[in-house]
Structure 1
């Protein structure tokens, strides 16, 4: 009996009495808080959607995007989601994306979002985008009348890899039963657009972070640059003009907050700069499981 007591005493004393550290749960708690914040404002966002957008599906996509935005301020997420609602584009990474830059969530339209808005014009019958690969059959003769000026036949007998690398992006639209001019963009042209116009790319190069969209997904930006040029040949609309402006504003978000027409962002919600750190809004502090402390029901823009 004494031996048993000694073993019990030894097991509950000294170094053996130390409890293993609990796995961190802060990130999960913050994600849950962000999702709860969005769910409480579901009607606020769905009421801003155009009638043709499926509200339940939009909210499901928005909820799925919240995990990567857990470090962003509620005010910037609010602004970015309102931009998605304004244009009726889902933040699914195809029509639009909400990209975190430091603690600022930024609305960025993608090439499918541009196509979606072009489709909405009553005169536009269809919009097409595709890639030409090295071994595809294609021809472009600008002097020929439409539609004989352009021809592309993908090698369906080959896998995508066997077709070779992408060499061209192209886009065109059918308007009132006639095909528009074909917009063709090669990699070198896309690179020149990036170098000349993208402030986000220049900032990422200067800082050495290499985290702009041109760094992380060149092909997506190449495709968007091609479809954006199609804007010059399709019928214009107010929504499409606004989307172009919002896209340009988003590119400058590393040095200034995104500007969404009709939305005001306070000075406190602007992103930090390298020269000066400014206080920003954050998610309310979340109680750890089992602590017995209630969660703070913070509103967008509250200081933690």
Structure 2
């Protein structure tokens, strides 16, 4: 009886032995981010164009969240809202959400530009490709379209057997006619990088060499070619806004982009339901590292 009384007394005074609290696991963070997304789901789904599957978009958003655990919830919300506004999945192909310190930043990729070009009623198709050293190709700008450009890949060879990439090219078919062919070699792409990318310049100065131009040169080379194609396809307000958002993302520590026609959530509550400041971050836990990349401007 005395043992029971002692245990009751210890429990009342908070002195009873408690098991050591285990560290937060990745699964717990997954539950936290899932709940966070569910509370804001209508903001994102309401912004999506009708042709985009809402459930799939939210699933892709959930998959990218572990890379953003150190970012503010306000910047994550704005970046996902930008993806939704343009109808681009944050899958690293159409668009990416890049953590710059504690700021999550929306950044369109070359497939995202192509996706928006396709939406114009006058655009029949858009094509991007790589020319490798052993491919058959020719470009004679004085010839009429489509005889001015020819590319035949050596499909009987593996990519490495075809040699290194020497050119990126892009063109569109508009009202049944082929557009100007945009051709960009490595040297031209490097000049774009050196002239326009603030992220590249900063990564060179600080010695980290962690910009997208350092970590994934070919992806930025491809996007540079497709961005030039934007100048020769029918324009739209949506495509112009995407270009501006891409330019803004080149700053390595930008403020979250403000996308026209969207609504920002203000009920930023944590997983416990308590109101949090807009600078609140996800719980600290062991997470896989994530790289960073930045856009190019032209």
Q: Give the TM-score band, short-chain normalised.
A: 0.7 to 0.9
Which fold has the larger relative contact order, with Cα–Cα distance below 8 Å and residues 6 or more apart in sequence? Answer: 2
TM-score, structure 1 as length reference? 0.80
Alignment of 1:15-164 (within 5 A): 24-25=23-24, 28-164=27-163
Aligned to 2:187: 188
1:158 is paired with a residue whose SS is coil
Q: Is the Cα–Cα contact under 8 Å of residues 73 and 283 in structure 1 kept in the other structure?
A: no
Shift of 1:211: 1.6
Aligned to 2:205: 206
The 1:238/1:106 distance shift into structure 2, 3 A limit, reads same
C-alpha distance in 1, partners of 2:203/2:263? 26
C-alpha distance in 2, partners of 1:185/1:90? 26
The 1:115/1:246 distance shift into structure 2, 3 A limit, reads same
Aligned to 1:256: 254
The 1:22/1:69 distance shift into structure 2, 3 A limit, reads same
Q: Is the Cα–Cα contact under 8 Å of residues 171 and 230 in structure 1 kept in the other structure?
A: yes
- Greater than 2 Å deviation, 4+ residue runs: 21-32, 258-265, 295-300
Alignment of 1:221-240 (within 5 A): 221-240=220-239
1:29 is paired with a residue whose SS is helix
The 1:23/1:214 distance shift into structure 2, 3 A limit, reads farther
Task: Count how many residue pairs are aligned between Structure 1 and Structure 2.
Answer: 259
Q: Is the Cα–Cα contact under 8 Å of residues 103 and 253 in structure 2 kept in the other structure?
A: no
Structure 1 spans left out of the alignment, 5+ residues: 1-20, 266-281, 287-294
Shift of 1:303: 4.4
Task: Show CA shifts across 1:14-59 (max 9, x none).
Answer: xxxxxxx987435553343222211221122101111111111101
1:204 is paired with a residue whose SS is helix
Aligned to 1:301: 278
The 1:34/1:147 distance shift into structure 2, 3 A limit, reads same
C-alpha distance in 1, partners of 2:278/2:39? 15
TM-score, structure 2 as length reference? 0.81
C-alpha distance in 2, partners of 1:303/1:180? 48
Q: Is the Cα–Cα contact under 8 Å of residues 31 and 70 in structure 1 kept in the other structure?
A: no
1:232 is paired with a residue whose SS is helix
Q: Is the Cα–Cα contact under 8 Å of residues 131 and 169 in structure 1 kept in the other structure?
A: yes
Task: Show CA shifts across 1:80-124 (max 9, x none).
Answer: 011001111110111100011111100000000000100111110
